[in-house]
Structure 1
Amino acid sequence: MLQGKKVGFAVTGSHCTLAAVMPELARVVAEGAEVVPIISPAVRDSDTRFGTSSYWRAEVERITGHKAIDTIVTAEPIGPKKLFDILVIAPCTGNTLAKLANGITDTPVLMAAKAQLRNLRPVVLAIASNDGLGANAVNLGRVMNTKNIYLVPFGQDDPEKKPNSLVARMNLLVATMVAALEGRQIQPVLMGSPEKGQVTGG
C-alpha cells in the first residue's frame, strides 16, 4: 500500500507511547516505503524510565536504515527538495500539537511539518496528549480543520483517571496514511475507550 512512497516519520516526546509506535514504524517500512526518521529535542536529549535518548535514536535508525534528522537545520531542506510524499508525527504530543496549530517552528519536527504543508503534501498526526480534551482541545480542533492535515483515529485512553487524555489508535496508522495519500480522512476519527487493561500509551 505504501510501496515506493517516501515517508518522513517524526517522533516526539510522549515517552510512554514510543514503545507502541515502534511496531507501526516497522510496519510502514515493511509496506515498502522509504522512511527517514525525525526526532524532537525531547526524544533526542531526554533519558526517562521508558528508555534513554540513545536507545530510541538507535531504534528508529535501526528500523528505517536512515540517520535521524535531529536539528532544524537538517530539517529545512525537506521543503525545497520535496523530500517526502507524506509526513507522519507519531506520537504527536500536546506541545507539538499546540505549536503546529499556532504556527510555531522551533523544533526539527515542526520544521518538517511546516515544510510539508508548504508543499501542499499530507501530514498525519497520531496524537498522544494528556490535555487533548483540556487546554489543547482548541488546538486539536484547529488542526482538524487545516488542509492537508489528517488524524489517526483517537479516543480517551483512561476516561476515569485521565478524562482529558487522548491517544491515537496506533494500529490504524498505515490505514490513515493510505487514505491521506488519496486526500481522505479515515473515518471514524473518534473512537471509543479501549477495554480495561488494554495498553495504548498516554
Structure 2
Amino acid sequence: MNLAGKRIGIGLTGSHHTFKQVFVQLEKLMREQAEVIPIVSYTVQNTDTKFGKATDHIDELERITGNKVIKTIPEAEPLGPKSPLDCMVIAPLTGNSLSKMANAQTDNPVLMAAKSTLRNQNPVLLGVTTNDALGLNGTNLMKLMNSKNIYFIPFGQDDPYNKPNSVSAKLDYLVDSVKAALNDQQLQPIIIPYTAENMLK
C-alpha cells in the first residue's frame, strides 16, 4: 500500500507518556509522503505533565506534519463532508475517550474527527492505551472491535502482573496498521505480547 497523497488524521488523547512514541510514527508517515492532519483533545492542548508541556507537544505536531493542529470541534467537523480523511488514527486512545466513542459521545475534536470519518465509511484506527481495557472498559473495547470500519493497532498487556487490566497498543505497528485499514483489513494478530519481558514465565 502506497501512502503517498493519502490524508491521514492523527488524533491524540491524554495518555501523555506515549506521545514521544507517536511522534516517531508520524515521522514515518511523513517519509511515506502521506498528508498528516494532527488533531488533539482538550486535555492534550491544556495539560502540562512531567512528560512535557502542552504547547511543546502542539509545536512538535505542527513541526513534523507541516499542518496546523485542529483544536476545536467546529474545526474537526469539516473532515466529514468537506475535507474527508482517508483514514483517522487515534493514538493514544485513553480509556475515557474509548468509553465515549463506544457510546457515541462526541465531546472533543478527536472524537468529532472519528465521527466525521465514520460518516464517510472510511476507516478509523485505534491505538488503545488504558489501565482498564480488561476491566470496566472491557465491554466498550469489545463493542468497538465488533464495529464496522473500526480497526486496532495490535495491543497487549503492558504490565500484566502489576496492572492486569491495563492494555497498550504497540505503536511500532501504527504505519502497517494504517496500510491494512486502508485495505479494509485488520492487521493480525490483534492481541500480542507487549514485550518479551512480560510474557508468561
TM-score category (smaller protein):
over 0.9
Query: Is the aligned partner of 1:134 residue 2:112?
Result: no
Provide the residue aligned with 2:64 in structure 1.
Answer: 63
Cα distance in 2 between the residues matched to 1:148 and 1:9? 16
Percent of aligned pairs sharing the same letter: 50
Calculate the TM-score normalised by the size of structure 1. Answer: 0.95
Give the superposition deviation at 1:26. Answer: 1.1
Please list every run of 5 or more consecutive structure 2 residues that lacks an aligned counterpart in the other structure: none
Give the superposition deviation at 1:82. Answer: 4.0
Alignment of 1:73-84 (within 5 A): 73-84=74-85
Cα distance in 2 between the residues matched to 1:31 and 1:92? 23
Provide the residue aligned with 1:125 in structure 2.
Answer: 126
Give the superposition deviation at 1:83. Answer: 2.2
Compute the RMSD of aligned alpha carbons: 1.0
Q: Give 3-state SS (helix, strand or coil) of 2:10's partner.
A: strand
Q: Give 3-state SS (helix, strand or coil) of 2:196's partner.
A: coil
1:132 and 1:166 in contact (8 A); partners too? yes
2:155 and 2:194 in contact (8 A); partners too? no
Provide the residue aligned with 2:154 in structure 1.
Answer: 153
Q: Give 3-state SS (helix, strand or coil) of 2:156's partner.
A: strand
Give the superposition deviation at 1:19. Answer: 1.3
Cα distance in 2 between the residues matched to 1:195 and 1:17? 19
1:32-63: CA deviation from partner (whole Å, max 9, x where unpaired): 10011000111100000010100100111110
1:92-136: CA deviation from partner (whole Å, max 9, x where unpaired): 111111100000000000100110001100000011011111111
Cα distance in 1 between the residues matched to 2:194 and 2:87? 28
Number of residue-to-residue matches in the alignment: 197
Please list every run of 5 or more consecutive structure 1 residues that lacks an aligned counterpart in the other structure: 198-202
Give the superposition deviation at 1:2. Answer: 1.0
Cα distance in 2 between the residues matched to 1:33 and 1:92? 21
Q: Which moved more, 1:82-91 or 1:122-131?
A: 82-91
Provide the residue aligned with 2:91 in structure 1.
Answer: 90
Q: Give 3-state SS (helix, strand or coil) of 1:76's partner.
A: helix
Calculate the TM-score normalised by the size of structure 2. Answer: 0.96
1:154 and 1:166 in contact (8 A); partners too? yes
Provide the residue aligned with 1:200 in structure 2.
Answer: none
